[in-house]
């Protein structure tokens, strides 16, 4: 600890912190409050600074029927509640499997970490090529096994369309086409999020005292019980950490959507049917004119939702997580 | 693909259930009275155990191999497609390996030309220009971030002053807030007040600070024992010199990790650069890639798209091969409670 | 049920080296006894215990439980209870859940499982702690929980790995009595591993002294103490430790330096002489001259630090009754009790007399 008089140390501390403090003030703290304020200004024009009046008009319009924001919210919630549990479950299985082998462990570990070091846009384009509705790799594999091609991203009338039974093809957004596009998106999001989770879980697994497993072995515990009664509880801090971070990450899903479906976030024929909340925010920010208020309101809604989930998570974790 | 994974998943669970059954033997001998010979058919038990073990290994490896295949398949398909000719790509039945290597897609991508608009009307992917932009932005934002991070981490870990804990808590709290909250106002700040459209600095300055890296480095600094500081004081070293000559070298692995992660971040930056650039000449690599092939041109440009994607990924993969240790350590550390 | 180890060998090998952790061990552990495996750290005693448990597979040799060869049988099928050095209590489970865990694996009915949990909790004296988490317990209490968890399966063999090493001195005394009591009450064949000779000697029915993976001596603790087979065993047992002098045998006499301290029927040769701390008697007719450096009064005894030119270390320590009148920095004569004095071969360190 640096010695010195209190006043001198205060100056010294502020001096060392000053670059960080100034940048944080301009690019983090000020915008945070400013965005809140903008969200309450109706018809706010950011270039002139003029606005019609204060109130909740922006929020009301967001949730008004017919606004694309509703679609965005539904899409985002679907992404969150499907991709997060799936990817955490899958990465847990992979981590446990990786931890139980010896030869080739490092090799597999490297392969499973590879997607972490990628460009989301580039690989997203690869996925849209793989799931191309005519003779992309996915359809090639399916036809190889005698199945019929699937109309993944639309545009192939001869291909099978999944979900015809329960999704109305005439719905504005949630058509069978939406379903297959969502599946493709989900596969990509999970593929993209596995490496981080596997790495975290694997290094946590390797940190667990071997004696717990030896004790369980001596007691004749089955592998399934060891997994559910010992491994998972001992990993609960990491699982909880992953749960919170991937919830937040999934709520902010944007780049992967743009990567596969382009800047308009649409699969063939339908306008913005794959849009997410963050896509909406950026779209409205860039549109210029008086749409900034909607973007701000959307951001505040996102913020509230994330805070809400984080809060619920931490309440649950108090009961469930064993530190 | 999904079906295969599902099947493997089911197989994995089934195997787990099978393993449960083998415990019956154990139960039997537990019920015997003490003192009796209680292990009957030890040979039989041992044989069965061995079979179960082998089966378990086979399933384990099969599961891992299938998923590993799933993980590298996009990379494989990207490279394969980029090496196919246009004719081969448009075959009804796609080939899993190019009939002959066609370098035409790479010739197109790597060619330096100054025009931006293709004859077809779409934007041309100008690799070298985009790469140059990205490197400029990446270099300066990494350098700046290192400076602010080192200074802030030093203040937070070594200098005791009133309000330190409050400021630190405030910093940490911002990590919970979605960045979209800031982007909107920052856009106004940069575009309206700073006139930063189509400038390098507008893509650098807002990202010169990272609370997460400050946190990471502070933890590292905190582990350095106080005795080192006192020893340096006795030798008449100034605070700044102590930071420069002792703390930074000790924390070098963390700083290298930060550098790599930050560079990778610039390479992958998409949202902000899209907002503050209008000229295709000022785009960063991810934007350029997305914009160049955004309109659905059908299958004809798949080869070029994949060649472009490969070119964008190549530096990242090379970095990964050489610096895997640093990257994995930096990432795995974030999961461990501080 | 007795346990037999036949030519048991364990070699740990990696690319660069090979370590013989256990070397041709031949031991029979009689049924219902408490056996201590004793030796300095790295002597292979824990490895032996883990091989008996089935957690390590022997490189060669066999392990018999009764008449059955269990050498390659996996741990859970051997019917053993194992208490780990750091207890390995599951941190996320309460004491009760920890103890009942093995029973749930065996699909024992809930009522019986609860009854057994209660029974063994009572046996080790932790009934009132059942709803706590391991973190909320002291080291001694954790130890008891670990023993209860090992016993609740009613195994035929109880194995303890350094059971007392994580406890403070006072608890250690208390817990070792406890282990002895529990073992007597249950009559279970028990093997425990320790590096603390006092601990092993105080509660074991028999001890096995090991060094570098090789068995040195086995027997009742007092027997081993009184008749050590070699210099290593003599040095390892007893506090304060035995004092070692360079000596020689000449014409039927045992000498330290030029002073004859006793008789010997060995041939003339240079030898090592070991004398227990209680083997000295201060007397005017003494045969060995020593210089007293320092005197410590410890109750009814005096512990004396003295020098002699022929000691192995600079000083040596012995114990006499406190009514002896001695002073620091004086030369005195001492008699050496022949039954507390051992003669070892200078090279092989084997006991000669």
At residue B21 the predicted structure's pLDDT band, cuts being 50, 70 and 90, is: very low
Is the confidence at residue B6, as pLDDT, over 80? no
Please report the pLDDT score of residue B337 as a whole number: 37
* Cβ pair A263, B295 in contact under 8 A: no
* Nearest CA among A51, A71, A38 for reference residue A295: A38
Nearest to A322 among C81, C82, C91 (CB): C91
Residues C76 and C147 in one domain: yes
Residues C23 and C159 in one domain: yes
Q: Phi first, then psi: what are they for C191, rounded to 5°?
A: -120, 130
Residue of C nearest to A217 (CA): C76
Residues C146 and C258 in one domain: no
Would you call C91 an interface residue with chain A, using a CB distance cutoff of 8 Å? yes
Helix, strand, coil fractions of chain A, as percent rounded to 5: 70, 0, 30
Residues B144 and B282 in one domain: yes
Q: Answer whether residue C352 is part of any domain.
A: no
How many beta-carbon pairs below 8 A join chains A and B? 316
> Which of B58, B82, B106 finishes a domain?
B82
Contacts of A214 in chain C (CB under 8 A): 53, 55, 75, 82, 84, 88
CB contact under 8 A, C70 and B42: yes
Our CA-based measurement puts residue C106 at a distance from the nearest CA of chain B, in whole angstroms, of: 6
- CB burial of residue B193 (10 Å; 0-12, 13-18, 19+): exposed
Residues B239 and B318 in one domain: yes
Residues forming a β-bridge with C34: C190
* Nearest CA among B209, B245, B238 for reference residue B224: B245
Contacts of A250 in chain B (CB under 8 A): none
Residues B264 and B196 in one domain: yes
Q: Answer whether residue B115 is part of any domain.
A: no
At residue B28 the predicted structure's pLDDT band, cuts being 50, 70 and 90, is: very low
Would you call B168 an interface residue with chain A, using a CB distance cutoff of 8 Å? no
Identify the three-state secondary structure at position C9: strand
> Which of C221, C236, C251 finishes a domain?
C236
CB contact under 8 A, B37 and C77: no
Residues C26 and C43 in one domain: yes
Would you call C104 an interface residue with chain B, using a CB distance cutoff of 8 Å? no
| Preceding omega of B297 cis (within 30 degrees of 0) | no
- Lowest-pLDDT choice from A159-163, B68-72, B134-138: A159-163
Residues B290 and B153 in one domain: yes
Please report the pLDDT score of residue B161 as a whole number: 86
Residues forming a β-bridge with C250: C253
At a CB cut-off of 8 Å and minimum separation 6, what does C302 contact?
Answer: C295, C296, C319, C320, C321, C322, C324, C326
Task: Kindly provide the ipTM of the predicted complex, given to two decimals.
Answer: 0.86
Residues B210 and B72 in one domain: no
**Alpha carbon distance, N-terminus to C-terminus of chain B:** 39
Please report the pLDDT score of residue B144 as a whole number: 94
Please report the pLDDT score of residue B25 as a whole number: 41
Q: At what angle do helices A176-206 and B302-333 cross, to 10 degrees?
A: 30
Please report the pLDDT score of residue A20 as a whole number: 93
SS (H, E, C) B35-100: CCCCCCCHHHHHHHHHHHHHHHHHHHHHHHHHHHHHHHHHHHHHHHHHCCCHHHHCCCCCCCCCCC
Please name the helix (run of DSSP H) or strand (run of DSSP E) that holds residue C318, with its range, or none: strand C316-321
Which chains are within 8 Å of C by 3+ CB pairs?
Answer: A, B
Domain that holds residue B247: 120-333
Residues B169 and B289 in one domain: yes
At residue B30 the predicted structure's pLDDT band, cuts being 50, 70 and 90, is: very low
Phi-psi label, residue C44: left if phi above 0, alpha if psi -120 to 50, beta otherwise:
left
Q: How do beta strands C68-69 and C60-65 pair?
A: antiparallel
Residues B76 and B165 in one domain: no
Nearest to B1 among A26, A141, A237 (CB): A141
Instruction: Give the CATH number, domain containing residue B231.
Output: 1.10.3720.10
Residues B282 and B166 in one domain: yes
Residue of C nearest to B45 (CA): C73
Residues C220 and C311 in one domain: no
Residues forming a β-bridge with C316: C306
* Nearest CA among C313, C255, C338 for reference residue C289: C255
Would you call A200 an interface residue with chain B, using a CB distance cutoff of 8 Å? yes
Is the confidence at residue B5, as pLDDT, over 70? no
Residues C248-271, mean pLDDT to the nearest whole number:
86
For residues A221 and B189, give the distance between their C-alpha atoms in angstroms, rounded to a whole number: 61
Our CA-based measurement puts residue B244 at a distance from the nearest CA of chain A, in whole angstroms, of: 13
Q: Give per-residue pLDDT as tens, A75-127.
A: 999 999 999 999 999 999 999 999 988 888 889 988 998 888 888 889 988 99
At a CB cut-off of 8 Å and minimum separation 6, what does B261 contact?
Answer: B213, B327, B330, B331
Nearest to C82 among A215, A225, A234 (CB): A215
* Cβ pair C8, C69 in contact under 8 A: no
Residue of C nearest to B22 (CA): C77
Q: Phi first, then psi: what are they for C41, rounded to 5°?
A: -65, 140
Paired tokens of A76: 């985002």
Q: How do beta strands C18-29 and C269-275 pair?
A: unpaired
At residue A273 the predicted structure's pLDDT band, cuts being 50, 70 and 90, is: confident
User: How many separate domains does chain B show?
Assistant: 2
For residues C257 and C297, give the distance between their C-alpha atoms in angstroms, rounded to a whole number: 29
* Nearest CA among C58, C55, C64, C62 for reference residue C159: C55
Is the confidence at residue A192, as pLDDT, over 60? yes
Place of tokens 């003029």: A50
Residues B172 and B257 in one domain: yes
At a CB cut-off of 8 Å and minimum separation 6, what does A5 contact?
Answer: none
For residues B209 and B214, give the distance between their C-alpha atoms in angstroms, rounded to a whole number: 8
Q: Answer whether residue C80 is part of any domain.
A: yes
> Which of C174, C202, C236 finishes a domain?
C236
Is the confidence at residue B312, as pLDDT, over 70? yes
Residues B59 and B174 in one domain: no
* Nearest CA among B167, B224, C161, C248 for reference residue A20: B167
Determine what percent of chain C is predicted with pLDDT higher than 70: 100
Q: What is the DSSP string of B246-270?
A: IIHHHTHHHHHHHHHHHHHHHHH--
User: How many separate domains does chain C show?
Assistant: 2
Is the confidence at residue B338, as pLDDT, over 70? no
Identify the three-state secondary structure at position C5: strand
Please report the pLDDT score of residue B294 as a whole number: 57
Residues C29 and C46 in one domain: yes
For residues B301 and B308, give the distance between their C-alpha atoms in angstroms, rounded to a whole number: 10
Q: Answer whether residue B307 is part of any domain.
A: yes
* Nearest CA among B143, B187, B242 for reference residue A19: B143
Is the confidence at residue C116, as pLDDT, over 50? yes
Please report the pLDDT score of residue C206 as a whole number: 92
Nearest to A322 among C74, C80, C92 (CB): C92
At a CB cut-off of 8 Å and minimum separation 6, what does C121 contact?
Answer: C95, C96, C99, C127, C129, C130, C148
CB contact under 8 A, B188 and A114: no
Q: Give per-residue pLDDT as tens, A12-32.
A: 888 999 999 999 999 999 999
> pTM score, two decimals?
0.81
Query: CA B54: distance to chain centroid?
Result: 35
**Positive/negative CA dihedral, A268, A274, A280, A285:** negative
Would you call C82 an interface residue with chain A, using a CB distance cutoff of 8 Å? yes
Query: CA B297: distance to chain centroid?
Result: 30
Phi-psi label, residue A167: left if phi above 0, alpha if psi -120 to 50, beta otherwise:
beta
At a CB cut-off of 8 Å and minimum separation 6, what does C144 contact?
Answer: C124, C125, C126, C175, C178
For residues A118 and B93, give the distance between their C-alpha atoms in angstroms, rounded to a whole number: 29
- Mutation target to probe the C interface, by most C beta carbons within 10 A, among A207, A208, A215 is A215
Q: Answer whether residue B113 is part of any domain.
A: no
Residue of B nearest to A129 (CA): B302
At residue B35 the predicted structure's pLDDT band, cuts being 50, 70 and 90, is: very low
Residues A144-148, mean pLDDT to the nearest whole number:
79
Q: Answer whether residue B99 is part of any domain.
A: no
Residues A48-64, mean pLDDT to the nearest whole number:
84
Residues C188 and C317 in one domain: no
Q: Give the start-to-end residue ranges of the domains of chain A.
A: 42-320
For residues A321 and A241, give the distance between their C-alpha atoms in angstroms, rounded to a whole number: 10
Q: DSSP letter at C240?
A: S
Is the confidence at residue B33, as pLDDT, over 70? no
Is the confidence at residue C164, as pLDDT, over 90? no
Q: Answer whether residue C350 is part of any domain.
A: no
**Mean pLDDT rounded to a whole number for chain A:** 85
CB contact under 8 A, C77 and B35: no
For residues B108 and C134, give the distance between their C-alpha atoms in angstroms, rounded to a whole number: 66
- Mutation target to probe the B interface, by most B beta carbons within 10 A, among A7, A22, A28, A32 is A28
Contacts of A263 in chain B (CB under 8 A): 290-291, 294
CB contact under 8 A, A120 and B316: no
For residues C94 and B129, give the distance between their C-alpha atoms in angstroms, rounded to a whole number: 63
Q: Answer whether residue C83 is part of any domain.
A: yes
Please name the helix (run of DSSP H) or strand (run of DSSP E) that holds residue B145, with its range, or none: helix B127-158
CATH topology of domain A42-320: MetI-like fold (1.10.3720)
Q: Which of residues 67-126 of B touch A (CB under 8 A)?
A: 67-68, 70-75, 77-78, 81, 91-94, 96
Q: How do beta strands C34-38 and C206-211 pair?
A: parallel
- Mutation target to probe the B interface, by most B beta carbons within 10 A, among C77, C81, C151, C187 is C77
Contacts of C70 in chain B (CB under 8 A): 39, 42
Lay out the sheet containing C60-65: strands in order across. C18-29, C3-13, C60-65, C68-69
Place of tokens 């022929």: C310
Please report the pLDDT score of residue B23 as a whole number: 47
CB contact under 8 A, B39 and C153: no
Is the confidence at residue A6, as pLDDT, over 80? no
> Which of B82, B109, B128 finishes a domain?
B82
Q: Which of residues 18-77 of A touch B (CB under 8 A)?
A: 19-21, 23-24, 26-32, 34-35, 38, 46-47
Determine what percent of chain A is predicted with pLDDT higher than 90: 27
Contacts of C67 in chain B (CB under 8 A): 37
Residues B72 and B141 in one domain: no
Residues B259 and B140 in one domain: yes
* Nearest CA among A263, A117, A119 for reference residue B285: A119
Q: Answer whether residue C351 is part of any domain.
A: no
At a CB cut-off of 8 Å and minimum separation 6, what does C147 contact?
Answer: C83, C124, C158, C160, C163, C179, C182
- Lowest-pLDDT choice from B24-33, B228-237, C15-24, C118-127: B24-33
Q: Give per-residue pLDDT as tens, C31-58.
A: 889 999 998 888 888 899 989 988 888 8
Residues C267 and C225 in one domain: no
Q: Give per-residue pLDDT as tens, B171-181.
A: 988 888 888 88
> Which of C236, C253, C283 finishes a domain?
C236
Would you call C49 an interface residue with chain A, using a CB distance cutoff of 8 Å? no
Would you call C4 an interface residue with chain B, using a CB distance cutoff of 8 Å? no
Q: Which of residues 113-152 of A touch B (CB under 8 A)?
A: 113-123, 125-127, 129-130, 132, 134-138, 140-141, 143
The distance between the two most distant Cα atoms of chain A, rounded to a whole number of Å, is 80
How many degrees, rounded to 5, is the angle at CA C106 between CA C100 and CA C108?
Answer: 70
Domain that holds residue C53: 3-236
For residues B61 and A102, give the distance between their C-alpha atoms in angstroms, rounded to a whole number: 11
Determine what percent of chain A is predicted with pLDDT higher than 70: 94
Would you call B249 an interface residue with chain A, using a CB distance cutoff of 8 Å? no
């Amino acid at each position: 600890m640096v010695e010195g008089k209190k006043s001198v140390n205060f100056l010294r501390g502020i001096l060392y912190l000053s670059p960080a403090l100034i940048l944080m003030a301009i690019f983090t703290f000020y915008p945070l409050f400013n965005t809140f304020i903008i969200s309450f200004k109706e018809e706010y024009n950011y270039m002139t600074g003029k606005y019609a009046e204060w109130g909740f008009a922006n929020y009301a319009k967001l949730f008004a029927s017919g606004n694309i924001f509703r679609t965005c919210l539904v899409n985002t919630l679907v992404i969150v509640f499907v991709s997060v549990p799936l990817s955490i479950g899958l990465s847990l299985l992979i981590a446990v499997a990786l931890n139980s082998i010896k030869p080739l462990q490092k090799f597999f570990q490297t392969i499973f970490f590879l997607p972490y070091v990628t460009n989301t846009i580039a690989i997203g384009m690869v996925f849209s090529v793989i799931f191309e509705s005519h003779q992309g790799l996915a359809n090639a594999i399916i036809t190889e096994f005698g199945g019929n091609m699937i109309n993944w991203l639309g545009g192939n009338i001869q291909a099978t369309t999944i979900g015809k039974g329960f999704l109305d093809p005439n719905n504005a957004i949630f058509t069978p086409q939406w379903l297959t596009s969502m599946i493709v998106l989900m596969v990509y999001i999970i593929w993209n999020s596995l490496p981080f989770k596997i790495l975290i879980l694997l290094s946590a697994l390797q940190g667990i005292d071997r004696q717990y497993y030896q004790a369980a072995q001596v007691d004749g515990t089955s592998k399934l019980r060891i997994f559910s009664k010992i491994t998972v509880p001992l990993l609960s801090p990491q699982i909880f950490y992953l749960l919170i971070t991937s919830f937040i990450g999934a709520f902010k899903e944007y780049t992967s959507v743009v990567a596969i479906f382009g800047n308009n976030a649409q699969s063939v024929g339908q306008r913005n049917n794959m849009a997410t909340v963050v896509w909406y925010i950026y779209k409205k920010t860039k549109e210029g004119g008086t749409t900034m208020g909607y973007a701000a309101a959307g951001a505040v809604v996102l913020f509230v939702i994330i805070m809400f989930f984080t809060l619920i998570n931490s309440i649950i974790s108090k009961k469930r997580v064993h530190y | 693909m999904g079906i295969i994974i599902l099947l493997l998943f089911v197989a994995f669970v089934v195997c787990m259930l099978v393993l449960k059954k083998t415990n019956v033997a154990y139960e039997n001998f537990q019920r015997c009275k003490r003192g009796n010979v209680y292990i009957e058919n030890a040979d039989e038990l041992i044989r069965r155990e061995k079979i179960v073990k082998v089966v378990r290994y086979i399933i384990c490896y099969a599961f891992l191999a299938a998923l590993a295949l799933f993980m590298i398949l996009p990379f494989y398909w990207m490279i394969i497609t980029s090496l196919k000719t246009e004719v081969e790509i448009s075959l009804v039945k796609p080939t899993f390996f190019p009939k002959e290597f066609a370098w035409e897609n790479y010739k197109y991508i790597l060619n330096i030309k100054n025009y931006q608009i293709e004859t077809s009307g779409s934007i041309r992917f100008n690799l070298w220009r985009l790469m140059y932009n990205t490197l400029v932005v990446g270099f300066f934002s990494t350098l700046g971030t290192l400076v602010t991070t080192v200074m802030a981490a030093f203040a937070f870990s070594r200098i005791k002053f009133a309000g330190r804990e409050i400021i630190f808590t405030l910093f940490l709290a911002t990590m919970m807030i979605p960045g979209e909250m800031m982007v909107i106002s920052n856009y106004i700040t940069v575009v309206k007040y700073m006139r930063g459209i189509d400038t390098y600095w507008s893509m650098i300055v807002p990202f010169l600070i990272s609370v997460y890296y400050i946190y990471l480095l502070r933890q590292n600094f905190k582990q350095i024992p106080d005795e080192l500081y006192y020893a340096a004081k006795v030798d008449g070293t100034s605070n700044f010199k102590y930071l420069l000559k002792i703390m930074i070298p000790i924390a070098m692995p963390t700083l290298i990790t930060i550098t790599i992660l930050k560079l990778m971040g610039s390479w992958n930056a998409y949202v902000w650069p899209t907002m503050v650039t209008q000229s295709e000449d000022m785009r960063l690599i991810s934007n350029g890639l997305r914009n160049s092939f955004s309109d659905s041109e059908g299958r004809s440009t798949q080869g070029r798209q994949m060649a472009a994607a490969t070119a964008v990924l190549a530096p990242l993969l090379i970095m990964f091969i050489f610096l895997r240790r640093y990257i994995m350590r930096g990432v795995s550390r974030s999961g461990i409670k501080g | 049920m007795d346990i037999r180890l036949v030519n048991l060998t364990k070699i740990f090998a990696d690319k660069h080296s090979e370590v013989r952790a256990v070397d041709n061990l031949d031991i029979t552990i009689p049924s219902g006894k408490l056996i201590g495996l004793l030796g300095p750290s790295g002597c292979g005693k824990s490895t032996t215990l883990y091989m008996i448990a089935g957690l390590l597979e022997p490189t060669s040799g066999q392990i018999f439980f009764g008449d059955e060869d269990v050498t390659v049988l996996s741990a859970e099928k051997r019917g053993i209870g194992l208490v780990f050095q750091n207890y390995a209590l599951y941190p996320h489970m309460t004491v009760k859940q920890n103890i009942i865990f093995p029973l749930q694996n065996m699909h024992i009915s809930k009522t019986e499982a609860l009854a057994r949990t209660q029974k063994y909790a009572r046996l080790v004296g932790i009934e009132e702690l059942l709803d706590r988490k391991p973190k909320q317990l002291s080291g001694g209490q954790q130890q008891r929980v670990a023993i209860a968890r090992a016993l609740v399966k009613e195994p035929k063999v109880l194995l303890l790995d350094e059971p007392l090493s994580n406890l403070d001195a006072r608890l250690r005394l208390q817990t070792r009595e406890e282990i002895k009591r529990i073992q007597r009450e249950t009559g279970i064949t028990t093997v425990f591993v320790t590096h603390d000779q006092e601990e092993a000697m105080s509660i074991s029915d028999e001890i096995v002294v090991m060094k570098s993976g090789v068995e040195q001596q086995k027997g009742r603790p007092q027997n081993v103490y009184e008749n050590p087979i070699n210099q290593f065993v003599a040095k390892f047992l007893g506090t304060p430790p035995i004092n070692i002098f360079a000596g020689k045998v000449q014409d039927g006499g045992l000498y330290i330096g030029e002073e004859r301290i006793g008789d010997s029927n060995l041939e003339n040769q240079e030898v090592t002489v070991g004398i227990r701390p209680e083997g000295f008697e201060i007397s005017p007719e003494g045969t060995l001259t020593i210089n007293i450096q320092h005197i410590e009064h410890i109750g009814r005894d005096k512990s004396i630090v003295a020098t002699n030119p022929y000691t192995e270390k600079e000083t040596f320590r012995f114990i006499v009754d406190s009514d002896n009148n001695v002073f620091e920095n004086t030369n005195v004569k001492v008699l050496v009790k022949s039954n507390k004095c051992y003669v070892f071969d200078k090279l092989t360190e084997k006991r000669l007399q």
